[in-house]
Structure 1
Amino acid sequence: MSRKEVFFMDRQFKYRSVFSPYFESFMKMKDAMGYGLNKFGYTFLELDRFFLETGATDTYITSRQIAAWRATRSNDGARTLYEKYSVLSQFCRYMCHLGHECYVPRMPKRKEIDFMPYVFTHEQMGSIFRECDGLAISNCSNMSTALVAIPALIRLLYSTGARIGEALAIRNMDIDYAHDRIIITETKNKMQRMVPINPSLKEVMKQYESYRDRMPVEGLADRERSFFVTANGRPFARGTAYSWFKKVLKQCGIPHIGKQQGPRVHDIRHTCAVHSLEKMVKSGADIYCALPILSTFLGHKTIAGTEKYVRMTREIHPDIIDKENVLTSFVFPIKTETDIDYGNDY
Structure 2
Amino acid sequence: MFEISASRKVLIQPFRDFRIASDRWNKANDKLMLYFDRHCLENFPKIEGITQDMIDSWCIQRKTEKSISCYCRTYIIAKLVEFLNQRKICSLVVPELIKAECHRTYIPHAFTDEELSSFFAECDNEVSKAPNQLTAARRLTVSVFFRLIFSTGMRTVEARLLATENMDLVNGVIDIKESKGVDQHYVALHESMLEILKSYNSVIEKIFPSRTYFFAYTATVPFYQEWSPLVFRRIWDKVNRDHANPYDLRHNYAIRNINSWTHEGFGFSDKFLYLSKSMGHMQLESTKYYYSLIPALADTIASHSQQGFDDIIPEVTEYEES
Q: Deviations over 1:20-58 (max 9, x none)?
A: x879xxxx98966765445987xxxxxxxxxxxxxxxxx
Letter matched to residue 126 of structure 2: L
C-alpha change, 1:179 and 1:282, in structure 2 (3 Å) is farther
Aligned to 2:232: 245
Q: Contact conserved, 2:265 with 2:301, CA < 8 A, in 1?
A: no
Whole-angstrom distance in 2 between the partners of 1:38 and 1:265 = 24
Q: Report whether the alignment pairs 1:208 with 2:154.
A: no
SS of 1:135 mapped into structure 2: helix
Out of 236, 255, 263, the position equivalent to 2:223 is 236
C-alpha change, 1:22 and 1:87, in structure 2 (3 Å) is closer
After TM superposition, the structure 1 = structure 2 runs for residues 291-302 of structure 1, keeping only pairs within 5 Å, are 291-302=272-283
C-alpha change, 1:181 and 1:89, in structure 2 (3 Å) is closer
Deviation at 1:156, TM superposition (A): 0.9
Letter matched to residue 245 of structure 1: F
Q: Report whether the alignment pairs 1:121 with 2:120.
A: no
C-alpha change, 1:290 and 1:148, in structure 2 (3 Å) is closer
Q: Deviations over 1:193-228 (max 9, x none)?
A: 11111111011101211221222x3423xxxx2111
Larger RCO (CA under 8 A, 6+ residues apart): 1
Letter matched to residue 257 of structure 2: S
SS of 1:229 mapped into structure 2: coil
Out of 255, 258, 264, the position equivalent to 2:242 is 255
Q: Report whether the alignment pairs 1:177 with 2:142.
A: no
Q: Report whether the alignment pairs 1:110 with 2:66.
A: yes
Q: Contact conserved, 1:161 with 1:268, CA < 8 A, in 2?
A: yes
Deviation at 1:117, TM superposition (A): 3.7
Deviation at 1:307, TM superposition (A): 1.0
Q: Which ranges of structure 2 fall in alignment gaps of 5 or more residues?
A: 5-11, 46-57, 68-100, 304-322
Q: Deviations over 1:120-173 (max 9, x none)?
A: 324122232222212357885988984331111111111111111111222222
After TM superposition, the structure 1 = structure 2 runs for residues 71-82 of structure 1, keeping only pairs within 5 Å, are none
CA RMSD of aligned residues (A): 4.2
Letter matched to residue 246 of structure 1: R
Q: Report whether the alignment pairs 1:96 with 2:52.
A: no
Whole-angstrom distance in 2 between the partners of 1:244 and 1:129 = 13
Letter matched to residue 161 of structure 2: A
Q: Contact conserved, 1:143 with 1:231, CA < 8 A, in 2?
A: no
Q: Contact conserved, 2:124 with 2:140, CA < 8 A, in 1?
A: no
Whole-angstrom distance in 1 between the partners of 2:200 and 2:40 = 44
Q: Contact conserved, 1:135 with 1:147, CA < 8 A, in 2?
A: yes
Whole-angstrom distance in 1 between the partners of 2:299 and 2:117 = 22
Segments ≥4 residues shifted beyond 4 Å: 28-36, 38-41, 86-92, 136-145, 282-285, 317-323
Aligned to 2:92: none
Out of 122, 137, 140, the position equivalent to 1:148 is 140
Aligned to 1:275: 256
Letter matched to residue 120 of structure 1: A
**Bigger proportion of residues as helix:** 2
Q: Contact conserved, 1:181 with 1:196, CA < 8 A, in 2?
A: yes
Deviation at 1:190, TM superposition (A): 1.9
Same amino acid, percent of matched pairs: 20
The alignment's TM-score, normalised by the length of structure 1, stands at: 0.56
Letter matched to residue 111 of structure 2: T
Out of 210, 218, 225, the position equivalent to 1:219 is 210
Q: Contact conserved, 1:145 with 1:230, CA < 8 A, in 2?
A: no
Whole-angstrom distance in 2 between the partners of 1:95 and 1:265 = 42
Q: Report whether the alignment pairs 1:264 with 2:245.
A: yes
Q: Contact conserved, 2:123 with 2:143, CA < 8 A, in 1?
A: yes
Whole-angstrom distance in 1 between the partners of 2:41 and 2:133 = 44
SS of 1:293 mapped into structure 2: helix
Q: Deviations over 1:303-332 (max 9, x none)?
A: 2111111221226x7896677xxxxxxxxx
SS of 1:213 mapped into structure 2: helix
Letter matched to residue 210 of structure 2: G
The alignment's TM-score, normalised by the length of structure 2, stands at: 0.60
Whole-angstrom distance in 2 between the partners of 1:125 and 1:115 = 24
SS of 1:134 mapped into structure 2: helix
C-alpha change, 1:264 and 1:228, in structure 2 (3 Å) is same
C-alpha change, 1:204 and 1:142, in structure 2 (3 Å) is closer
